[in-house]
Structure 1
Amino acid sequence: MITSIQGVLAAATPLRAVVELGGLGYEVNIPVTTAERLPAVGAEVRLHTLVIYREDSQTLYGFASPADRDFFRLMIEHVKGVGPKVALTIMSKLSLPALQAAIDAADVPLLARCPGIGKKTAERLVIELKGKVGVGSSAALSAASAGKGDDAAGEDGGAAPAHNSHHDAILALGALGYKPADADKAVRTAALKLGTAATTEALIKEALS
């Protein structure tokens, strides 16, 4: 199984990246939340990957962190009606910390606002994944985040602290009256500016500026 790919970023769009490695160009399907963290074209990039095999094709999906990839796998393996395309759409709308928080809080209306997701599918996400995801609640995601600190942009630091501060900042903005999706977007924008090592306080301050 191909669990990661590292090479030169040859091209990128919000939903696809081409990584050149050993004279070959690999097309990788990515969510918008990973595209936001890609380096400039021509720079070295590493994506954590999952290959989906079909009778007539094989498709490579890539993510900024092992935790993102593992959440994608959980959705397509455990939630009826959620295939790779829908799962990628969900992860393009909301970041992993926001999705974790929504599932933990059983926020069906927020999940249902993801393109291609109706109320029933949103309810399935909560029923099937609650207890399997969330900061500190999933053994698989926690182990992946703690053990592998590389991300798509090659930034320093582990994934777990970044996700914790991101998650806490989203909750804080929500307490200030932000809608969950707006809070997530504001914190993602702040994280891009400040880097993955930013504290919760720094993310909140930047998001509010």
Structure 2
Amino acid sequence: MITSIQGTLSSATPLHAIVELNGFGYEVNIPVTTAEKLPATGATVKLHTLVIYREDAQTLYGFATPAERDFFRLMIENVTGVGPKLALTIMSRLSLPLLESAIRLGDIGSLAKCPGIGKKTAERLVVELKSKVGGQSSLAGEASGAGVDTPGESRHRDAVAALTALGYRAADADQAVRRATLALGADASTEALIKKALA
């Protein structure tokens, strides 16, 4: 099992990265949320990976954090009708904190707005994953060693909620806050994130 890959970022698109390591170039399928965090071409990059083996192919999927990789695995192993391609689409549209929040709160509307996700698939995501991402079993909590959100995740979620209250769609608010976080850094306050997202 290949759980991570670290090497030189040879090239990248919103859904693929080529990582060169020991003379080999590895094509890694990534969500947009990971592509946003990649360094410049030529820099060293580390991706947390999952390999999917099929009769006719071996496909490598990569993520910025172990928690994102584990959530991807959780979706494809537990939700009927959600394969790797659809799971990658879902994670490209919504960040992990927003996904976990939508599942915990049963927010089918936000989930159903992801491309390729209808109401029935959104309902399955909630029903089949709610017990796995709620409370003490939260993936983000496990990654940080606790059963609660990290301060950065809480600020992210609060900023998204504020933008949603101002009329933004949840996915657009999430994307704006992700961009603001990249620009300002992970320690930015909720207020700073909101101001940057609105700029």
Q: CA deviation at 1:201?
A: 2.6
Q: Distance in 2 between matches of 1:64 and 1:202?
A: 23
- Name the residue aligned to 1:9: 9
- Name the residue aligned to 1:198: 188
Q: CA deviation at 1:137?
A: 4.0
- Name the residue aligned to 2:25: 25
- Name the residue aligned to 1:100: 100
- Name the residue aligned to 2:155: 165
How many residue pairs align between the two structures? 197
Can you list the C-alpha shifts for 1:54-82, whole angstroms capped at 9, x where unaligned?
Answer: 12221110001111111101100110000
Letter aligned with residue 186 of structure 2? T
Can you list the C-alpha shifts for 1:68-125, whole angstroms capped at 9, x where unaligned?
Answer: 1111011001100000000001011111111112112211122111111111111000
The question of whether the paired residues in 2 share the 8 Å contact of 1:6 and 1:44 is answered with: yes
| SS of residue in 1 equivalent to 2:110 | helix
Relative to structure 1, is the Cα distance of residues 172 and 137 closer, same or farther in structure 2, using a 3 angstrom cutoff?
farther
Aligned with 1:189 (options 179, 182, 187): 179
Letter aligned with residue 137 of structure 2? S
Relative to structure 1, is the Cα distance of residues 146 and 38 closer, same or farther in structure 2, using a 3 angstrom cutoff?
farther
The answer to which of 173-182 and 18-27 deviates more is 173-182
Q: Give structure 2 stretches of 5+ with no counterpart.
A: none
Letter aligned with residue 180 of structure 1? A
TM-score (norm 1): 0.87
Q: Distance in 2 between matches of 1:84 and 1:34?
A: 15
| SS of residue in 1 equivalent to 2:42 | coil
| SS of residue in 2 equivalent to 1:89 | helix
The question of whether the paired residues in 2 share the 8 Å contact of 1:72 and 1:87 is answered with: yes
Q: CA deviation at 1:199?
A: 2.6
Q: Give structure 1 stretches of 5+ with no counterpart.
A: 148-158
- Name the residue aligned to 1:155: none
Q: Distance in 2 between matches of 1:26 and 1:182?
A: 31
The answer to which of 199-208 and 1-10 deviates more is 199-208
Q: Does 1:86 align with 2:86?
A: yes
Letter aligned with residue 89 of structure 1? T
Q: CA deviation at 1:146?
A: 4.5
- Name the residue aligned to 1:69: 69
The answer to which of 85-94 and 173-182 deviates more is 173-182
Relative to structure 1, is the Cα distance of residues 96 and 24 closer, same or farther in structure 2, using a 3 angstrom cutoff?
same
Q: Distance in 2 between matches of 1:6 and 1:49?
A: 10
Relative to structure 1, is the Cα distance of residues 97 and 139 closer, same or farther in structure 2, using a 3 angstrom cutoff?
closer
